[in-house]
Every structure is written in C-alpha cells, then in structure tokens.
C-alpha cells in the first residue's frame, strides 16, 4: 500500500458491514479471459450469451484502477491447461461431448490452453508489472496453485473477489478461501454469469445464514469505504 489509507475500514455489505484493512486485502480477479468473455470464445461455443458478462468489465476496470492507485495487492487468475493437457483431468476433457472442447483448435486458438489468444486476459483488465497472474487448472483459485502460500506470505487476510462466472469459478474460489480462514467480499456488479438467475442466487448464497461464505456489496460501496481516489474512480 502507498499510505493513502490509514488502517481498517468498515464496508457496508450484506449480511452486515465487513471490517477490512486495505493493506491486508487482495483484489482477486477471476478468469476475465477472452475465452469466457468474447464472441467466438469457448463460453460462446458452449451456447452461452456472452453479453451477460460484458457488464462486469467497466465496474471492474474502475475497481482495478483504484486498487492500482492505492497500491493494493492485485491477483489475476486464468483457467486453462498446459499445451500437452497433462494437467487436465480426462473427465474435464470429455465433459459435454463437445465437437470443439478444451485443447481443440477454435477461433481464438486452442481452447483454454495456456499461451493461446483465447486463454489470455481481456485488454481492458490486462495485468501490469507487479500483479500476479495465477494459472489454475480447476475452477477454484486455490486448487493446485500457490495462491494460499502467496496470500499468507503477503499477510493478506481478506479477498475482494471479482470476475467470472459467479456460480462457478467465483463461487468455488470463495468457498475455498472461506474454508482457509480468509474473509471474502464479492463485488456484486464485478462478477457475472451467463445465467442471470444463477448470478442472483449465487450472490444470495454467499451472504445467507449470517454470511456463510462471506459478504457481498456493490463496488461503489467498497470504493467509497476504502477512500478510493476520485481520479481513479472517474477514470
């Protein structure tokens, strides 16, 4: 952190305000990859309407700009596999009986394969130097990655979770983080699903029962609470 904040703040959230210290908080951006967000990517090839995810890009870009301006820890994840697919369970490769599935050549290169165009992060949210980019073979960001090690070594206690999709990789990551003792705050307008009803229920599931998996809040409430610089919010 660059010293623009002064210790713990209270963020209005469901089911009740969350106290977090921005210096011990990481912005985690899940799988904002071309394969999930862009026309011609894997998500669309699965028959999904990618426009449902597009609305997350602008608010997430604002949160990312604020986090950068404040020197907050930023971690990007990408779901995908080695070119030889040795890290992809055969069950995952077979799922769906797809004519063009993981590892197959598609309009954006081999589907969900590291190094291919579709696997990489969209231009609007592209990582900059100093931001970790975590390649994950599963849905959760903790599974078969060094995320927990990085967070513990960095003194991080709270995750601000964003990205796609709400009920799949976002939810899995929140559940994994919650079980490991991290406080998870999901920014409602910065996560999205191909299925609006899954998005709505997914958010409610996180905050239900006294915050059984964590907290949810709109990004504006988070940015106001941490005192995000006006120029970052306006940019």
Closer of 91 and 209 to ligand C5J (Cβ): 91
Residues 97-156 that bind ligand C5J (CB under 6 A): none
Least distance in Å: CB of 79 to ligand C5J? 5
Least distance in Å: CB of 36 to ligand C5J? 6
For residues 220 and 62, is the Cβ–Cβ distance under 8 A?
no
Q: 14, 28, 34, 36: which one contacts ligand C5J (CB under 6 A)?
A: 36
Query: Rule CB under 6 A: is residue 79 a binding residue for ligand C5J?
Result: yes
Least distance in Å: CB of 132 to ligand C5J? 17
Query: Of 35, 108, 120, 136, which residue is the catalytic one?
Result: 136
Query: Rule CB under 6 A: is residue 169 a binding residue for ligand C5J?
Result: yes
Closer of 35 and 183 to ligand C5J (Cβ): 35
Residue 2 catalytic?
Answer: no
Count residues near ligand C5J (CB under 6 A). Answer: 7
Report the relative pairing of strands 73-79 and 9-11 from DSSP bridges.
unpaired
Q: 31, 38, 176, 188: which one contacts ligand C5J (CB under 6 A)?
A: 31
Residue 123 catalytic?
Answer: no
Q: 67, 168, 203, 205: which one contacts ligand C5J (CB under 6 A)?
A: 168
Residue 136 catalytic?
Answer: yes
Dist CA 26 CA 20 (whole Å): 11
Catalytic residues, which ones? 31, 136, 169
The residues binding ligand C5J (CB under 6 A) are 31, 36, 79, 164-165, 168-169
């Amino acid at each position: 952190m660059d010293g623009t904040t002064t210790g713990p703040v209270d963020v209005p959230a469901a089911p009740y305000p969350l106290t977090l210290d921005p210096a011990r908080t990481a912005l985690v951006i899940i799988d904002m990859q071309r394969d999930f967000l862009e026309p011609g990517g894997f998500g669309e090839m699965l028959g999904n309407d990618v426009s449902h995810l597009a609305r997350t890009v602008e608010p997430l870009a604002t949160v990312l700009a604020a986090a950068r301006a404040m020197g907050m820890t930023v971690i990007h994840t990408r779901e995908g596999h080695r070119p030889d697919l040795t890290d992809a369970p055969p069950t995952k490769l077979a799922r769906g009986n797809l004519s063009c599935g993981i590892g197959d050549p598609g309009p954006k290169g081999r589907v969900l394969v590291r190094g291919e165009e579709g696997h990489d992060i969209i231009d609007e949210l592209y990582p900059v130097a100093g931001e970790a980019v975590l390649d994950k073979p599963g849905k959760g960001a903790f599974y078969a990655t060094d995320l927990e090690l990085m967070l513990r070594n960095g003194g991080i206690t709270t995750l601000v979770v964003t990205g796609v999709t709400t009920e799949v990789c976002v939810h899995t990551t929140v559940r994994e983080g919650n079980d490991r003792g991290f406080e998870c705050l999901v920014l409602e307008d910065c996560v999205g699903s191909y299925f609006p009803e899954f998005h709505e229920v997914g958010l409610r599931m996180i905050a239900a029962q006294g915050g059984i998996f964590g907290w949810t809040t709109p990004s504006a409430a988070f940015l106001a609470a941490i005192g995000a610089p006006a120029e970052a919010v306006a940019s």
